[in-house]
Chains A and B, each alone.
Chain A
Amino acid sequence: MPGAATPEGALRIGLAHGRVQSFHEDADTRDIIPPDRAASAGLDYLALGDWHGALTVDPRTQYSGTPERDRFKHNGPGTCLVVTLDGGVPHVETVDTGRFDWQDVDLNFTPDADVNTALSGHVPQDAAKRRDLLLTVRTNGTLRLPEKGALIASGKSVADSFGLFRLLTDDLSTEVEAGDLDAIATGGALRSAADALRIEAENETASEDDRQIAARALDRLWNLSQEDV
């Protein structure tokens, strides 16, 4: 290619599918597209495909992404690039082409946080826009039982309006105070069950998994106890 002549006035445009970097030490470097391929081959533009997300290697070398994404690997909808070549640096414009908007967001909480406000920041007010929104909310940090319950309830209330809504609370710790358990029951068997789960959740001699399970069981009990029975 470097030795191939180009008629005067013609544009040299490369089109390739593959990687520009190797992820394996013993990989055959001849299978890799050199990142400086556009310059070494005298190309006006090298359009690459392989990545599902858009990626600029250099001004003349770009991955356009996929017109419709099918996973959470890259946030946002599918795109394509409109490239204008006039001999100078290519003019590149990104155009959304995908119908579905993939969003994977993190929410970090501290006790007494306003969970509804935090969640609503990622929930379009217009319910119609949620139909094509696939949202994964990964929560972490710590919330008190009522707040966590409110967060989960809030998530449940909007979940059905989304194309997909996932509220992940595995990494969200629960802080339990005595008054929180009163909301389950001030005494009796329900309170005994709640106390037992809290003790197990805070038992430092138990495994982390067992503590997590007990804590989540207590969350569940709290939520169920708040439902109208």
Chain B
Amino acid sequence: MQIHSVRLDNVRRFTGPVEITNIGPGLNVLSAHNEHGKSTIFDALHAAFFLDRKSMRADVASLIPHSGGDPEVTISFSTAAGRWKLLKRWSRAASRKEVKLWKDDVLVGQEDQAEAMLADILKAPKAGGPAGLLWVRQGLVGLEEKGDEQNVRRDLLSSVTGEVEAMTGGRRMDAIRASVKDSLSRYLTSTGRPKKDGDLAQAQENLQELEERHAGLQSAVRDLGNDLGERRRLRRELEEIEDPKEKDRRAATLREAEAALADAERAAEILHGARETEARAKAQADGAKERLDRLTKAIAERNLAEEALQTAQKSAELAQDRLSAADTFFSEATSAQKAANEAAESARAVSKAATRAQLAATSQSRRTELQNKLSAAEAARAELEKAKADVALGPNQKAVERVRELSQAVEVARISAESSAPSITLSYTGDGRVRKGSEPLQEATRIALPDGAELDLDGIGRMVVQPGAGSLTDAVSKAETNLSAALDAAGYGNRASLDEAAKLRVAAEDRVRNATANLKAAAPDGIEALQTLIAAIPEHAESDVNLPTVAEAEEAEGAAVDALSDANVELERARTAKDLAHQETTRASAELSAAMERQTRATQNLEGISDPEADAASLEVEVTGLRAELTKATEDRVVLEADAPDASALKITRDRAKTAIENSRIRVEDIRVRLAELDTRIRASASDAVEEELADVEEKRGQAQASLLAVETEVAVLSKLLEALDAAREEARERYVEPVLSELRPLIDLLWPEAELQIDAETVMPTKLVRRGTEEDFDVLSGGTREQIALLVRLAFAQMLAKDGRSAPVILDDAIVYTDDERIETMFDTLNRQALDFQVIVFSCRQRAFRDLGGTQLTIEAAS
């Protein structure tokens, strides 16, 4: 926002219209003496923007001139949305209250609509934060206030017309939170527990007490209800039991039951006699029948025993025959097995003898072979010893090598002597010749003269050829001397004899190798081992030339063993047959004895009866008669049983009828006792009025529940409100306070480069100024320092808004009256620098001091 002009009419001292028209975008200064109307303009601006036209609160009333009239303020300003003109008039007469709002010279709203639009322009953004104007009122730097410390310091910031308060909640937030906390403290402790003797604790305790009483009374009422119910039931039961008709019915029932029982007992006696008659008839018939059965059975047994005896006798004879045959078979098998056994033994002996003969022949062949090897080995050992002796006679290899080397040295010396000796090569052109001795020397041939020579030249004379000093012949001589010495040392006079001896030695060494190989072939482990091996081969006597071969003997032995095996099987089969025959004979014998005993017993059973069959026929007739008598007795008994009443059931009926009467009597006594008890208890409960008390307690409990719910709801409401307030303040602090602080620090540096201002991050209030390590409480700082800090806080706030794209004018009304001349220059620089980012309007009565502030100089002019 930027303010362009302001017009006042009927505002305090300005009873006529005045205006300021040239308010620029940056720094603006209205410097005038006291009572010039600066604060009036300041207050008018504030009222026009923030006080409803309908309001007549003190700060509006203060705008009315002493002479009366309706204060009217017209402000031209612009925002990002466009250029606006606001006219607002307050009056005690409702008809003269007025507000109008133009946008870009078009009237866009009046009265409430205009107020709403203005509020919308000035309203803080939905996301929170201050509105679009910042105010610094005259002298509100904390110097004049006499309130408590926090309020004094907060007033430093209150000159921002509540914007900081709106940001953090400020004093209203503090007051509301304090009120909420105070209300909560009546219910809860600081740790959130119900406060002792507090409304919440009392409501809880009251309800608990009533709940306990209610439970107790409910139990008592339940008991009473149960008692009443039981008494009702018992009374009904007593009435039913003592009903005369019911009593008569029970007595009649008993009489009828007893008569029926007597009839039944008589019928039972008659039936008892019939049953005894039947039992006797049955005993006689059964006895006769038993005798008949015994006799018939004895006759049959006698007949069967005789048949069995005959059968057993035949079986015994047959078994005896089978036993004789088995004995014969066993005797024959025994003889055959014995013969086969002897044949097998003989075949085994022949086989063993054949095997021994074969082993003897093998041993003899081996002995011969080994003795031939022994002879060859002994011959090889003799040759080896002789060859080794020949090797020992020859020169050793080292001496031979030495002589060979020295012989080569002699040859080399000789060749060298010849090649380096004086020589001549002749070419004859005439007949004359050169002679050594008498023999002419050949031409065209190099003739060496290592020892010099005396040459005769035909027709010329003699020429002596000198060998010269250091002749090579010395080297040859020396080499030859060394060779001779080596030959002597080896024991040989010349090289030829040495070479011959060496040749013989080589031949002897070949013989040693051959003999060694032969000895190894014949006796790998040595002659002694071979001799031991021969000695270990046993000597065998001459073998029987008539023996069969081992194979033949083994085949014969196998056949004999097979025959023996067959004989053993046959013998076993004979033994088994014999055992079976013995067993059968024994069993037949036993059966025969048993049959004889049975026949004896059967005969004894009929002893004394002359004609058993005739006796049996007579007895059968007697049984038939007795059975007819039994049938008659049974029929009589069945008829009586069918007609007999059930005495047991009748007795039970009789007993039940008696018991019912007796039980009724006992029950009546019990009921009367119980009713007496119940009456006593019910009377006691009634006198206690438990039902009335329960109803009363239930009502009180309902009230206590409602009270507790109300208190709990109140606690929840207060807690919720406190939680919302704390969260909002914390959010505001994070969103706005920190940015303001970051804007403030560089401004502080401008005035006190080495100082640090400590600010309460929660209240945005300066607390200490630290300079050169010394902390100074804000409240003990000089007035100038305090007003400078207060102003810088506001400028930091404006800077933050400007950076946020919501540039707000900062209006200062004698804001730095206590600042000294030196530091006011720095403040001027700061204001000029900040005015580059937002509009600053300065009202000051210090005309001389503010002359150097710069910016656009404002004047209050009379308006038309």
Contacts and interface: CB of A to CB of B under 8 A. Distances in A.
B172 A229 contact: yes
A188 B732 contact: yes
B175 interface: yes
Instruction: Name the residue in B129, B171, B172 with the highest tally of chain A Cβ atoms < 10 Å from its Cβ.
Output: B172
A193 B123 contact: no
A186 B161 CA distance: 13
B interface: dominant SS? helix
A83 interface: no
Interface string B694-733: 0000010000000000100100111011001101110110
Contacts of B699: 71, 73
Interface string B121-139: 0111110111100000000
A86 interface: no
B123 A196 contact: no
Contacts of B124: 186-188, 191
Q: Which of A189, A190, A213, A225 has the most CB of B within 10 A?
A: A189
B169 interface: yes
Among B125, B710, B717, B729, max chain A CB count under 10 A is at: B717
Contacts of B721: 193, 197, 217, 220-221
B166 A185 contact: yes
A187 B128 contact: yes
A126 interface: no
Nearest to A50: B692
Contacts of B297: none
Interface in A177-229: 182, 185-193, 195-197, 212-214, 216-217, 220-221, 224-225, 227, 229
B724 A217 contact: yes
Contacts of B167: 187-189
A160 interface: no
Contacts of A185: 166, 169, 172
B119 A191 contact: no
Contacts of B725: 189-190, 193, 221
B186 to A, nearest CB: 14
B724 A188 contact: no
Interface in A68-116: 71, 73
Contacts of A225: 172, 176
Interface in B104-133: 119, 122-126, 128-131
B131 A187 contact: yes
A58 interface: no
A109 B130 CA distance: 36
A229 to B, nearest CB: 4
B226 to A, nearest CB: 11
Contacts, number: 113
Given A26-B229, A188-B170, A214-B720, 10 more contacts: A170-B713, A182-B119, A188-B130, A189-B731, A190-B728, A216-B717, A224-B179, A225-B176, A229-B171, A229-B175
A25 interface: no
B724 A28 contact: no
Contacts of B171: 229
Nearest to B726: A193
Interface in B151-197: 165-173, 175-176, 179-180
A33 to B, nearest CB: 15
B224 to A, nearest CB: 11
Nearest to B730: A189
13 contacts: A28-B232, A182-B123, A185-B172, A186-B123, A186-B124, A186-B131, A188-B124, A188-B129, A197-B724, A213-B717, A220-B721, A224-B180, A229-B176
A195 B130 CA distance: 16
B731 A213 contact: no
Interface string A3-31: 00000000000000000000000101011
Interface size of B as a range:
35 or more
Contacts of A71: 699
B267 interface: no
B732 A220 contact: no
B218 to A, nearest CB: 14
B228 interface: yes
A140 B171 CA distance: 34
A182 B229 CA distance: 67
B808 to A, nearest CB: 13
A220 B165 CA distance: 20
A187 B166 contact: yes
B724 A193 contact: yes
B222 to A, nearest CB: 12
A185 B724 CA distance: 14
A196 B717 contact: no
Contacts of B727: 193, 196
A187 B718 contact: no
Contact of B128 (A182, A191, A221): A191
Of listed B130, B171, B229, B721, residue having the most chain A CB within 10 A: B721
Contacts of A196: 724, 727-728
B229 A188 contact: no
Contacts of A212: 713
A225 B130 CA distance: 18
Interface in A119-155: none
Nearest to B731: A192
B125 A189 contact: no
Given A186-B119, A187-B130, A192 B732 contact: yes
Contacts of B122: 186
A193 B722 CA distance: 9
B738 to A, nearest CB: 14
A197 B732 contact: no
A99 B729 CA distance: 52
Interface string A28-44: 10110000000000000
Contacts of B228: 28, 31
Contact of A220 (B128, B229, B718, B731): B718
Nearest to A187: B124
Given A182-B119, A196-B727, A187 B168 contact: no
A213 B720 contact: yes
Nearest to B164: A188
B48 to A, nearest CB: 17
Contact of B720 (A73, A197, A229): A197
